[in-house]
Amino acid sequence: MVENLGAWIASLTDAQTPWAFLFLTLAIALEVSALVRTLTRGYGVQGTIMWVVLILLVPVAGALAFFLLVSPSVRRVALKRRRAAAKLRRDSAARAGAPDREPKAVEGDALIDLAASLTDLPPTAGNEVELLPDDAPTFRIFEEAIAAARRQVWAEYYIIRNDLSGRRFLQLLIERARAGIEVRLLYDAMGSARINAKLVRELIAAGGRAHAFLPMNVLRRRFAIHLRNHRKLIVVDGETGFVGGMNIGNEYFRRHRPRSAAARQPFHDSHLRLRGPCIEALARTFSEDWHFAAKEVLPPSACVAPASAPPPASNGSIVAVIPSGPDQEFNASALAHFAAIASARRRVWLTTPYFIPDEAAIAALVSSALRRVDVRVLVPYRSDERIATMAARWYYGKMLRGGVRIFEYEPAMLHAKTLVVDGAVALVGSANADIRSWRLNFELGALVADPRFTRHLEERFVRDLADSREVTLEQVERQGWRTRAAHGVARLLSPLL
């Protein structure tokens, strides 16, 4: 490897031209910079070794690949965002005449306390939590909430497709902006690369605001292909919020016409409608993301529900909002999943479309199963990302030998991201159980402590199992060497997925 790099340098110096020496200087600087960043970025040993080998074996190209595919440092930006958010909270708390609308922290539950420590967002009681259907009625619920907005509509999405659902969603925002409602839209530059640009311009012309999150521009300081905003969020009037796994596209609302049904299978997903004090945490999350993307600090009053908002429900749910991303030293989604699985006493039921766990998650799942906890993992039988499915199946053998039960959902593309623990606590959001969601993506979820809600989610999980096939260890061990090799190659690419 070193000889390869030395021979490459020698070939350049033999050219004996000023341009060759200039290129050599720049190339060496690029190589050294990439190596230093690789060794100091604080990721796992396997990924670090992979990048060091690639940078040394393929000079320049390997370094360029590192800077294009690995997230840039956002810790300093995130620190500014957190300081701005803290100032918003201090200003909100100092506001005269509204102490009763400040969220009340809830103590006692270990997972809820962990979420609060990781995110600096206080959990709240008295919330209404509703699990929405994964078809056309959910879009109608979105539509009704946006149409009823009196003050503001904030929306943030990874994918807004240029199809019937995507165009109708943008038209709804345009209508509200024309009616004088404050409309703000954030969309991921890569996930929504095909968003209807004409309608976005119409939204801005109507008085709304729209920004792409981390635009795909190599000249920008924060340019990164690998760093994406995977959140799905709507906040209406500081009173109603929507979070979960559903993007804006026909497949999420089962709106396929016969001609296009074969092109993209419908998705089976999970999404929540929230009301109550937890909406302030959702609004703060959006406010921080807006500050990051638009360089605009929203006023503290914009994140607080008006005085006319309904009071918290006396028998409502405890909710902890969990934003996570590469700007966190300890990823909140990853640690919430790990702690929930590791602390379970009776059962852990996990649903995820992409199952590429790290070593910590594997240890948590297997150790819980070996403690005779009922550990079940539900994944899709057919995925929209074939290589991710192949990588997931590489882990089946180890999971099954450790006592974890694995089921593959057959009727549709399973896109739900849920976790239910002991019938007491549930996590629903945008984060998959994979390395990308736990290290690279900006994600958002809601941790709900309410036996009634978790019972409802467990009932849905049981119904989904009835439409699934259980994977057995015998099936895995009967796989031919070609299949095992393909799964192994896919697994090697898992740090990049």
Q: Which residues are catalytic?
A: 230, 232, 237, 415, 417, 422
What is the spatial distance between Cα 160 and Cα 253, in angstroms, rounded to a whole number? Answer: 13
The 8 Å CB, 24+ separation contacts for 294-303 are: 294/209, 294/211, 297/84, 297/88, 298/88, 300/88, 300/89, 300/91, 300/92, 300/95, 301/92, 301/95, 302/152, 302/238, 303/88, 303/92, 303/238
What is the spatial distance between Cα 199 and Cα 202, in angstroms, rounded to a whole number? Answer: 5
Token pair, residue 140, equals: 């109608």
For 278: left if phi > 0, alpha if psi spans -120 to 50, otherwise beta; the answer is alpha
First to last CA, the chain: 26
> What SS3 state is found at 91?
helix
Residue 477's φ and ψ, nearest 5 degrees, are -75, -15
Q: How far is CA 333 from the centre of its chain?
A: 8
> What SS3 state is found at 367?
helix
| DSSP 3-state percent helix, strand, coil across the chain (nearest 5) | 45, 20, 35
Contact yes or no for 391/449 (Cβ under 8 A): no
Residue 192's φ and ψ, nearest 5 degrees, are -110, 35
> What SS3 state is found at 184?
strand
Pairing of strands 405-409, 374-380: parallel
> What SS3 state is found at 414?
strand
Pairing of strands 374-380, 124-131: unpaired
Beta bridge partners of 160: 248
What is the spatial distance between Cα 111 and Cα 447, in angstroms, rounded to a whole number? Answer: 8
What is the spatial distance between Cα 185 and Cα 152, in angstroms, rounded to a whole number? Answer: 11
What is the spatial distance between Cα 86 and Cα 82, in angstroms, rounded to a whole number? Answer: 6
Strand blocks (E) in 228-341 = 233-236, 240-244, 267-268, 271-275, 317-324
Tell me how far CA of residue 376 lies from CA of 102, 383, 406, in angstroms.
38, 19, 6
Token pair, residue 79, equals: 């620190």
Q: Which DSSP symbol is given to 427?
A: E
Tell me how far CA of residue 275 lies from CA of 76, 113, 305, 444, in angstroms.
33, 21, 11, 16
Contact yes or no for 149/238 (Cβ under 8 A): no
